[in-house]
Amino acid sequence: MKLNETAMAKAFGVLGASYYLACYFVAFFVPGIYKTVAATWFHMLDLSSAWKDTPGGLVLGLISFTLASWISGRLLALAYNKFVK
């Protein structure tokens, strides 16, 4: 079964945008939880000098992360279809 590359790319784009927005709002409204989770994902690396009081760049971050997700979905579907042959 082949995958539709465009549909997969769109699905990844929507998923990426959803993740980005969820992460942004968690960082904005409950930064303590956000910082705790981020620290565990980076193996407890001390990121205290990198934190901002409020997250900025919502639009640029949302667009760039959605685009990166879309490209990832497209490439995954292309690779999958190549190996299915």
pLDDT score for 57: 85
H helix runs in 1-85, sequence order: 5-29, 31-41, 58-84
Digitized pLDDT (tens) for each residue of the chain, 85 residues in all: 899 999 999 999 999 999 999 999 998 999 899 888 888 888 888 888 888 777 778 999 999 999 999 999 999 999 999 999 7
Determine the residue type at 80: Y
Through-space distance between the first and last CA atoms of the chain, rounded to whole angstroms: 9
The half-sphere exposure of 43 on its side-chain side, counting CA atoms within 13 A, is 0
The model's pTM is 0.82
pLDDT of residue 45: 84
